């Protein structure tokens, strides 16, 4: 088999081509538009399937250099999310934040209960079965890489490989599920009565002005980079002050954005056009991150999953759909914001927060923007849920160990 090293900028170019290809297919295939599938997901998945076929037939294998660029765009996106969090939104979303926090923790608990229960019925090592629960799903690849080795050290042989493969499965499933879920909720409950297609910035007439202003564009990029810099300082500070608590750097970038938002708002000057420019840069970063993540996936790892694990993961899909459709949507208000929040919950409940944002963006592009959803989902999914999920996983690992 021939091995091909794909450099950092080459990988970035492939990710951009995947977005263009996805946009092309989105215009040509009505099914993708109807179910709100994001263009980076469409193009990225097709390219990932092609690389998998080449690998499986022993023709070519690709080694993509994507880690640095992935981290960069991920943090820029979270910084933009933090800059979208005005004080008025923090006050307005207080009750909803608490509700969604509880729901996110409850879904993680149910995912682990399902994994451990079905795994025990099918005679699996409980520690390995747990790697098809909230570790790779609500936690994503980051948690899979963190808790997989821990489960192996406790007696779960092969736990890391299972966790990584399950996380890949969840990433794909989350990208595909969110759009149809949101579309069904909105159509069934008539949540878009205006039938207007509003742009992601809320449809204001300032969008074009923000796009063509060189000064605003420069400021938007510079502010986002400052937020990331503040975030890294906070990241190092948290490691020094709280060595036993792991807070991901992207969460700190979001806090950097929140800090700068409060500073900018304190000037008592209308900055809506600047925030629109920041949203645009954040949206670009999100598209590139999602495309990079999917293009570089090793789909052949899924073929290595045994029947018991496939059974657990299929049941996890059903659980996530039912929970987001019947519980998250209803308890979050049963309105348009709640529908978009349910889409976001399915995204990080199966994959990661960027999956949530990509699927929510696809739904909002077809209907209209939800400021509340775009604030609450990354705040809970990108920050607080990481902590609650870690506590839940730790408890279930101890239960699984006692079952050996």
Residue 278 in contact with residue 253, Cβ under 8 Å?
no
Q: Is 215 a domain residue?
A: no
The more confidently predicted of residues 202 and 332 is 332
pLDDT at 248 over 70: yes
Per-residue confidence (pLDDT) for residue 205, from 0 to 100: 38
How far apart are the C-alpha atoms of 144 and 297, rounded to whole Å? 14
Is residue 213 a part of any domain in this protein?
A: no
Q: pLDDT tens digits for 280-328?
A: 898 899 889 889 988 988 888 776 667 888 999 999 999 999 999 999 9
> What is the domain range of residue 314?
2-206+224-402
Answer yes or no: is pLDDT of 182 > 70. Answer: yes
pLDDT at residue number 229: 96
Query: What is the reported pLDDT for 198?
Result: 40
pLDDT at 197: 43
Please report whether residue 197 resides in a domain.
yes
Please tell me the predicted confidence (pLDDT) of residue 212. Answer: 58
Residues 151 and 131 sit within 8 Å (Cβ to Cβ): yes
216 belongs to a structural domain: no
pLDDT digits (tens, 9 = 90+) for 26-78: 999 988 888 888 888 899 989 999 999 999 899 999 999 998 998 899 899 88
pLDDT band at 178 (very low <50, low <70, confident <90, very high): very high
Query: Is pLDDT of 200 > 50?
Result: no
Start-end of H helices in 29-125: 30-34, 39-56, 67-83, 87-92, 94-121
Task: Say how many residues make up the chain.
Answer: 404
Would you say residue 331 lies in a domain? Answer: yes
Read off the CATH number of the domain in which 200 is found.
1.20.1530
In a domain, 218, yes or no: no
Average model confidence (pLDDT) for the chain?
87
- What is the predicted pLDDT for the residue at 251? 78
Over residues 345-365, mean pLDDT: 88
What is the reported pLDDT for 312? 95
- As for how many domains the chain has, the answer is 1
Higher pLDDT, 343 or 36: 343
> pTM (2 decimals)?
0.80
Higher pLDDT, 146 or 325: 325
The pLDDT of residue 391 is 87
d(C-alpha 329, C-alpha 370), whole Å:
14
Token pair recorded at residue 342: 């349910």
Measure the CA angle with vertex 267, ends 261 and 269; round to 5°: 95
Model pLDDT for residues 85-115, shown as the tens digit of each residue: 777 766 777 789 899 999 999 999 999 999 9
Q: Does the residue 211 lie in any domain?
A: no
Name the phi and psi angles at 367, rounded to 5: -110, -100
Position 217 in a domain: no
């Amino acid at each position: 088999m021939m091995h091909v090293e794909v450099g950092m900028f080459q990988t970035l170019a492939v990710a951009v081509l995947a977005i263009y290809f996805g946009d092309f297919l989105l215009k040509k295939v009505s099914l993708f538009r109807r179910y709100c599938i994001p263009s980076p997901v469409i193009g990225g998945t097709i390219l990932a399937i092609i690389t998998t076929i080449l690998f499986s037939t022993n023709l070519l294998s690709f080694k993509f250099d994507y880690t640095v660029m992935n981290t960069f765009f991920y943090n820029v996106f979270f910084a933009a999310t933090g800059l979208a969090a005005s004080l008025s939104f923090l006050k307005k979303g207080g009750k909803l934040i608490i509700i969604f926090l509880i729901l996110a923790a409850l879904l993680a608990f149910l995912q682990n209960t399902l994994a451990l229960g079905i795994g025990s019925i099918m005679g699996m090592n409980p520690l390995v079965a747990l790697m098809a629960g909230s570790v790779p799903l609500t936690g994503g690849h980051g948690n899979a890489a963190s808790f997989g080795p821990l489960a192996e050290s406790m007696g779960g042989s092969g736990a890391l490989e299972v966790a990584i493969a399950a996380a890949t499965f969840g990433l794909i499933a989350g990208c595909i599920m969110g759009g149809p879920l949101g579309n069904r909720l909105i159509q069934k409950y008539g949540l878009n009565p205006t039938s207007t297609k509003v742009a992601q910035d809320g449809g204001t007439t300032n969008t074009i002005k923000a796009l063509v202003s060189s000064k605003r564009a420069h400021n938007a990029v510079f502010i986002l980079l400052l937020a990331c810099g503040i975030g890294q300082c906070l990241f190092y500070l948290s490691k020094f002050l709280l060595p036993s608590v792991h807070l991901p750097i992207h969460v700190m970038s979001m806090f950097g954005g929140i800090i700068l938002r409060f500073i900018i708002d304190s000037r008592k000057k209308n900055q809506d056009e600047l925030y629109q420019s920041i949203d645009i840069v954040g949206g670009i970063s999100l598209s590139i991150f999602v495309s990079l993540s999917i293009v570089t996936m090793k789909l052949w790892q899924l073929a290595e999953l045994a029947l018991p694990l496939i059974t657990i993961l299929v049941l996890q899909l059903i659980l996530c759909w039912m929970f987001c459709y019947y519980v998250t949507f209803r308890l979050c208000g049963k309105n348009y914001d709640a529908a978009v929040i349910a889409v976001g919950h399915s995204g990080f409940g199966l994959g990661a927060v960027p999956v949530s944002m990509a699927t929510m963006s696809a739904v909002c592009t077809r209907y209209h923007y939800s400021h509340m959803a775009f604030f609450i989902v990354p705040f809970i999914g990108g920050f607080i849920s990481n902590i609650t999920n870690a506590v839940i996983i730790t408890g279930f690992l101890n239960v699984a160990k006692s079952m050996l």
